[in-house]
Structure 1
């Protein structure tokens, strides 16, 4: 059986084809009674809008593409949720992809979004994606960087000052009486990790007698945190750090599982622990985790707002929105 057409809907609702089009695209200019009659006709006929044809007419879809670094990190889940809500308020949907910190997967999603003619792309890039994003922008698909600053200021970005966040974490640990600090996180090719480490190093450099070692990890996740925690616990007491700054909360939770839950070291008595992102699980962990909070919802909402503005006005100058992080103190860094 052939699918119903706009003409079929118009005939059943006893309106013009133009009125049906207005109900679909500009319902605010149609009377409520007519909108209801057209919707009833669509339901009776099981009418399905030909979105592909509509995209061809408009040159774009009513969707926004979002690529996050990690689908396992609740921080990016919160950003995506906020972006979806903001997009829905503007009449758009969001298609979410997870690069898993792999450039090939990131490129694959960018290819898909270009094929789908999305209205624009929100991207937390693995590396430098500027050339590819410029080509997409030339084809009418703007991009806004999320949780990352454009290296050459040619793209708008919405992020948090991670250097300041790293400095805040180190300063807090030093204020609680710790002097042998370790930064656990990696790979440093991820700009956020590098910036947080740089911020911590800048503070330590100003405090004589305080040291900071770097413990690299293959990924910023719970499993790598557990591995790092085991390596620290295996050291002689005099060789261990007395405080750990984890590059994110997932690493910190993995560290906590090994150090505290497995009974190897007391947190915070023997070793203090601070994370980054302040995900929901941070405050609910077995030892409530001190963390550096990022305004994840505000990041997602602002990124969508800027992206849609640039989609409507391609000549707008790129903007850089840089939010400040916030220290959230809990039991894992209690003063000695």
Structure 2
């Protein structure tokens, strides 16, 4: 049986094709009685409109593309939910793609979103994709960077001052008496990671009696943190750090597991640990995790707001919103130094 079309709906509802189109696209100009009759015909026929054809005719979509750096990280999923909420209030939907820190997947989603003529793209990029994003913008699709600043300020961005966040985390560890600090996380090609490490180095550089060891991981996930924690726990006590700053909370939670399971290291008495993002699981981990909190929902909502403004007016100058991080102290760093 052939699928119902607009003509079938119009015939059953005893209205013109133009009236059906108005009900679907501009219902406010149609009388409630007529709109109800058309909607009953749509439901009876099981009509599904061809949104791709509508977008081709209109030259724009009611969807926003969002490319997440790591969809498994609760920070990004919460940010995506906030973006969806903000978009819905403006009458838009959000299509989410997870690059999983892989450049080829990121490129594939950018191809898809450009082909679908989305209203705009929000992206937390894996590396430097500025040339590609410029081409997309030149084709009439605005782009806003999320949880990242624009290196040359040519794109609007909504981010957190990760350099300051890194400095705040390590300053807290130093102020609690720690002197042998390790930074654990990677890859360094991810801007957020390198910025947080830069902040850590700034804080350490202000104290001649404090050292900083950098331990890279293949990804920002719990399993990588667990392996790093086990490796640290197997060291002689004199060669272990007395504090660890993890690049994000997932790595920090893995570190806690590795330290406690492998070497029964006392947290925080022997090694203090602090993470970054303050995800919902941070205070429910095996030891309540200290962390650097980001205004996650505000980031997502603000990014959508800026994107839709630029979609309506491409002549707007790029905006750069930078939020300040907040130190949250819990059990994992709150005890005495070794």
- The unaligned stretches of length 5 or more in structure 1 are none
Report what 2:250 is aligned to: 250
Q: Deviations over 1:9-57 (max 9, x none)?
A: 2232233322222211122233333322221111011111111210111
Count of matched residue positions in the alignment of Structure 1 and Structure 2: 336
Q: What does residue 209 of structure 1 align with?
A: 209
d(CA) in 2 for partners of 1:221, 1:303: 25
Q: 2:301 matched to which residue of 1?
A: 301
CA distance in structure 1 between the aligned counterparts of 2:177 and 2:47, rounded to whole angstroms: 68
Which residue of 1 is the match for residue 96 of structure 2? 96
- Which secondary structure does the structure 1 equivalent of 2:159 belong to? strand
Partner of 2:260: 260
> Aligned equivalents of 2:33 and 2:176: distance in 1?
67
The corresponding residue for 2:191 is 191
- TM-score between both structures, scaled by the size of structure 2: 0.96
The CA distance in 1 between the partners of 2:37 and 2:160, in whole Å, is 49
- Report the 3-state secondary structure (helix = DSSP H, G, I; strand = E; otherwise coil) of the residue aligned with 1:214: strand
The yes-or-no answer on 1:333 pairing with 2:337 is no
Corresponding position of 1:14: 14
4+ runs deviating over 4 angstroms: none
Partner Cα distance (1:140, 1:74) in 2: 32
Q: Secondary structure at the match of 2:297?
A: helix
Q: How does 1:280-299 map to 2 (within 5 A)?
A: 280-299=280-299
Structure 2 partner of 1:169: 169
TM-score, structure 1 normalization: 0.97
2:14 & 2:192 partners in 1: Cα distance? 58
Q: 1:7 to 1:291 in 2, by over 3 A?
A: same
Gaps of at least 5 residues in structure 2 are none
Aligned CA RMSD, in angstroms, stands at 1.2
Is the contact made by 1:177 and 1:335 (CA closer than 8 Å) also made in structure 2? Answer: no
- Match of 2:317? 317
8 Å CA contact retained: 1:63, 1:93 = yes
Identify the residue that residue 178 of structure 1 maps to in structure 2: 178
Which segment drifts farther, 247-256 or 80-89?
80-89
Is the Cα–Cα contact under 8 Å of residues 69 and 101 in structure 1 kept in the other structure? Answer: yes
Query: What does the per-residue CA deviation read over 1:98-139, in whole Å, with 9 as the maximum and x for residues that have no partner?
Result: 111111111111111111111111111111111111111111
| Corresponding residue number in structure 1 for 2:85 | 85
Shift of 1:315: 0.8
8 Å Cα contact 2:230/2:263 also seen in 1: no
Q: Is the 8 A contact 2:185 2:219 kept in 1?
A: yes
The residue number in structure 1 matching 2:5 is 5
Q: 1:29 corresponds to which residue?
A: 29
Matches within 5 A, 1:49-64: 49-64=49-64
